[in-house]
Amino acid sequence: MALRIESRGVRASIECGGRAHQAEYVLFHPTRGSVISVTSASLQEIDLATGALVGEIEYDLFPIVAAAAAPTSADKAHALDHLIAVGSYFVVGVHQSRYFIVWDLQEMVLQSISEVEKQLQKGMSAITGSLCRDHWLFYASDGSNSVKVTSVDSKEIPKKISRKASNRSSQLVSLAYSTSKRLLCCGSSDGSLQLWLFSEDNTLGGKDEAAMASLLFTTPAVQSPLVQLCFAANGMRSTYLIAGYQSRLVEVRHQNPEILSESRPLNCEFS
């Protein structure tokens, strides 16, 4: 079985206007079907079909975090390390590898900025989120072998999913989460992949960390770091896991809908 991926052309043309001179981060919000554009001064939500502006949030990140942030060069003062869609109306960015920035697209406001990594020598190596109403956030720190779990609105200390690596030098570098299947995938610097089943009835308050997730399988290490992960679905039953390696190899795996611990790679052709 072979999977072929090809471009179908331009869906919509979106004008940048006065934002063209600013560093811009763009993502697609799956539950809203819109494009999110983020700069140091504003967030814009854009209708994917028409290119029309749905809403805009204006702000200035630098004075908000400057007092608490470590000294940094001017070109990195407004930099975002990660930007993800969470739930049905949240966008979460990671600023200077230390701060969660949460935008609420329902109310069109910058909701909160919170410090998550207090140790300056550590950055955030990977982050992903759920698209359900629980608004889960999964992230990993540089040099860590555990995945921290919290939610957008949680005030509690994050829980941890401990990852056991066969190679001591192996570090987490990529994460992906399938909301519909409750599957958490972890990619590491040694090229290995781990797939976990996240607890359906999980709550942060008082939950045993060992019961939060069950390891389904681990793939052998390869010579290239696994730097990108994402899930894709074809209908209700077929789920695919797409893994991108630093060597520019892309692997597509088909997850058995009946036995989640069974996953097989497919032959892929990209154009």
Other Cβ atoms less than 10 A from the Cβ of 47: the count is 15
217: phi then psi, degrees, rounded to nearest 5:
-165, 165
pTM: 0.83
All domains in the chain, ordered by first residue: 23-115 (2.40.10.480), 123-270 (2.130.10.10)
**Which pLDDT does position 271 carry in this prediction?**
42
The pairing of strands 2-5 and 263-270 is: parallel
Calculate mean pLDDT across residues 195-223: 76
Q: What are phi and psi of 50, to 5 degrees?
A: -110, -20
Note the pLDDT of residue 58: 94
Kindly tell me the sign of the dihedral angle through the C-alpha atoms of 135, 24, 112, 47.
Answer: negative
Identify the burial level of 14 via C-beta atoms within 10 angstroms of its C-beta, where 0-12 means exposed, 13-18 middle and 19 or more buried: middle
pLDDT for position 145: 82
User: Residue 169: is its pLDDT beyond 70?
Assistant: yes
Q: Which H, E and C letters describe 146-209, residue by residue? A: EEEEEECCCCCCCEEEECCCCCCCCCEEEEEEECCCCEEEEEECCCCEEEEEECCCCCCCCCCH
Q: Which of 36, 132, 145 has the alpha carbon at shortest distance from 92?
A: 36
CB atoms within 10 A of CB 228: 16
Asked if pLDDT for residue 54 goes beyond 90, the answer is yes
Task: Provide the pLDDT for residue 269.
Answer: 47
Beta bridge partners, 55, equal: 45
Residue range 90-125, pLDDT digits in tens: 999 998 888 899 999 999 999 998 888 665 557 789
Per the listing, tokens 């032959």 go with: 267
pLDDT exceeds 50 at position 2 = no
pLDDT at res. 165: 74
Structure tokens at 15: 């004008």
